[in-house]
Amino acid sequence: MSWLRLAIRDFVIVERLDLELGEGFTALTGETGAGKSILIDALQLLLGGRAEATQVREGATRAEVAGEFDVVPAAYAWLAEQGFEPRPGEPLLLRRVIDGQGRSRAWIDGSPATAAQLRTLGQWLVDIHGQHAWQSLMRAEAVRELLDAYARVDTTALQAAWRAWRDAETALQQARARQAQAQQERERLQWQIDEVARLAPGDDEWDELNRQHARLAHAQALLDAAHEAMEALDGRELSAHRLLAQAIAALQAQAHIEPRYGELAAVLQAAQAQVDDACRDLQHWVHHTELDPDTLAALDERLSRWIALARRYRCPPPELPARLQAWREQLRALDEAADLDALAARVAQMRQRYLEAAQAVSLQRAPAAQRLGQAVTELMQTLGMAGGQLQVRLEPLPEPSAHGLERVELLVAGHAGATPRPVAKVASGGELSRLALAIAVATSGLGEAPTLIFDEIDSGIGGAVAHTVGRLMRTLAAQRQVLAVTHLPQVAACAHHHWRISKSARGAATVSQVVPLDAAARVHEIARMLGGADSQAALAHARELLGA
C-alpha cells in the first residue's frame, strides 16, 4: 500500500476529512458541484502546489492538509541528501498549512520543508492525470517530454552539450564584436607593462630599498655613533672596560673574606666579556662601512621612479609588482580571447559534441516512438476507436535545438481508413479524451510513484467504452494503487473500493464530506449515477454492473 491516509482541515468547502485508501482501485463519485476535485486539489497542494488564501475555508483562520505515504526506495537517497531522516518501513508524513493571507508552511516528517522539496518528493509518491490531460497533447514540448519519459532518455548530456556549444558561439561573437575595442585595450596594457617592466620591481624589493637607502643616507651618523660607543667602552682612561676591571679586582681581593664578592666578580667578568664582544662587532662594522654617495644616488633615483609610477597608476608603492602581474594576465586573456581561430575551433568542437549527444538521443527516441504508437493504437481499439491508430512521428528540425535534432508530433486516425493527422486537427473532444486516456494507460508504468490518480479523465465517453476504461483501471490497480474521480457508473462499478463525496448546508456555510460506501450504499450510488435514483430498474442495473 502506498498512500495510507489523507487528512484535510478547512480546505475550500471541506471542514474535516480523513480519508484512508486501501490497495487496488478506488472510485470517488458524487453529484456535480459536490467537490470531487477538491480532494485532488488538496493533494496537489500537499505535493507542492501553489498556495492561495482562497483555499482557506470561509470563517476559518487556516487550512491544513496532511498525508501519510509509503516511500519508494528511490526516494530514500534524496531524502537523506536533503537532510531529512527517512525511517525505512514506516510511513512518510507530509503536512502543509496555509493562513488567511495565503502564506504557507510545509513539513516532511516533522522537519520544515519547502514547496519545491514537496514537488520533487511528490514525483515518487503520486502520479496525477487530470481531466484536461488531452490539452498537453497539443503542446510540442509536452509530447517530446512524454516520448523521452517513455524511452527513458536521459537528456542531461544533451543539455550540457547544447549549453557548451551556445556558450562557445557567444564567446566567438563577442570576441569579433570587441576586436577594435580589445585592440585599444591591448595597446594601453602593453604600454603600461613596458613602462613598469623597465623598472622591473621585485615582489619584496620596496622594503629592502628603503632599508638600504636609510642606511646609506645616515652612514656618517652611524659611523660617528660607532666610534663614540667604542671610545666609551674601551678607548678612554675611564672606559667601561677599565672600570669593570677595577671593580672585579676590588671584589676578588676580598672574596676570601666574603664569598658573595666572588660571585659578584664573576657576574662582572661576564659583563666585561660582553663589552669586549660589542667592541669587536663595532670595530668590524666600522672597518667594513664606507660612505657610498654613488649607490645612495642610484637608490634615490630608483625610489623616485618607483614612487612616480605608483602615483601615476594610483596604487601604494608596495603593490606595484602585483599591478604589473595583473596587467600581464589581462593582456594574456585579451590575446586568448582575440584568437578567433581558436574560438572558432572550440565552436566546431562543441558543435560536434552536441551532435553526438543529439544523435544518441535520436537513436533512443526512434524505436520508443514506434513502441508507444503501437501500445496506444492497441488500447484505442478497446476505447471505441476501432481501426484507429496513433503515430509518433519524428520530424527533422531545420536547425538543431536544445532538445535535439527532431520535433516530436502525434498523428492520430480516429477510425479505419482515416488518414493520420496532427492531434491539433482532430476536432472531436471525445476522441481527444479517449486518446489521452489511452496514452495515460500506456505510459502508466513509467513513473516510480506507486499511486496513480485519474481526475475525470474519462469525460466524453460512455457505454461499452466506459466498461473498458473501468477494466483498464482495475488492471492497473494490480500493480499500483489507483484512485479515479469519475462520473461514469461503469467505471465506478469496476473499483475495489467506492467513496462518495457530497455537500450540505450548515448554517450559512456549505461543507463537503466523503464517506466510504458499503455494498448496499454502493448499489444506490451506482443507480444514482445511472440517472434512475432509487427506481427498481436503476437498482437492478446497478446490481448487474457490480456483479459484472
Amino acid (one-letter) located at 328: R
Q: How far is CA 29 from the centre of its chain?
A: 40
Residue 248 lies in a domain: yes
Output DSSP code: residue 54.
G
Question: Which residues lie below 8 Å from residue 29, measured CB to CB, with a gap of 6+?
Answer: 36, 485, 486, 487, 492, 498, 499, 500, 501, 525, 529
pLDDT of 1: 47
Residue 303 lies in a domain: yes
Distance CA 545, CA 539 (A): 10
Distance CA 351, CA 185 (A): 31
Bridge partners (DSSP) listed for residue 517: none
Query: Is the CB of residue 58 less than 8 Å from the CB of residue 68?
Result: no
Give the other-Cβ count within 10 Å of 46's Cβ: 25
The residue with cell 461543507 is 511
Bridge partners (DSSP) listed for residue 5: 20, 68
Distance CA 76, CA 124 (A): 10
Question: Which residues lie below 8 Å from residue 68, measured CB to CB, with a gap of 6+?
Answer: 3, 4, 5, 6, 91, 92, 93
Residue 268 lies in a domain: yes
Distance CA 423, CA 412 (A): 6
Q: Which three cell numbers stand for residue 244?
A: 669593570
Q: How far is CA 544 from the centre of its chain?
A: 54
State phi, psi for 466 to the nearest 5 degrees.
-65, -40
What is the number of domains present in the chain? 1
Distance CA 327, CA 356 (A): 40
Residue 239 lies in a domain: yes
β-sheet with 126-129: strand ranges across: 111-113, 104-108, 92-99, 62-69, 3-11, 14-20, 509-516, 497-506, 25-29, 481-485, 451-455, 126-129
Q: What is the reported pTM?
A: 0.58
Residue 207 lies in a domain: yes
The secondary structure of 305-348, three-state, reads: HHHHHHHHCCCCHHHHHHHHHHHHHHHHHHHHHCCHHHHHHHHH
pLDDT of 33: 66
Give the other-Cβ count within 10 Å of 201's Cβ: 23
Residue 212 lies in a domain: yes
Q: Which of 246, 243, 225, 222 is nearest to 234 (CA)?
A: 243
Residue 165 lies in a domain: no
pLDDT of 134: 58
Per-residue pLDDT of the chain (548 residues; tens, 9 = 90+): 456 688 999 998 888 888 888 788 999 988 776 667 788 889 889 999 899 999 998 889 999 999 998 877 778 888 888 888 877 778 889 999 999 898 999 999 989 999 999 998 888 888 777 655 556 677 788 889 889 988 989 899 999 999 999 999 998 888 787 776 777 788 888 899 888 888 888 888 888 888 877 777 666 676 667 767 877 877 777 778 788 888 888 888 888 888 888 888 888 888 888 988 888 888 877 776 666 677 777 777 888 888 888 888 888 988 888 888 998 998 888 777 667 888 899 999 999 999 999 999 999 999 999 999 999 999 888 887 888 899 999 999 999 999 999 999 999 988 888 888 888 777 566 677 778 778 878 887 666 677 888 887 766 677 778 888 888 888 888 878 888 888 889 999 999 999 998 887 776 667 777 888 999 999 999 998 888 667 888 888 888 888 87
pLDDT of 224: 66
Domain residue limits at 277? 180-337
Residue 279 lies in a domain: yes
Distance CA 322, CA 314 (A): 13
Bridge partners (DSSP) listed for residue 392: 410
pLDDT of 45: 92
Distance CA 80, CA 87 (A): 10
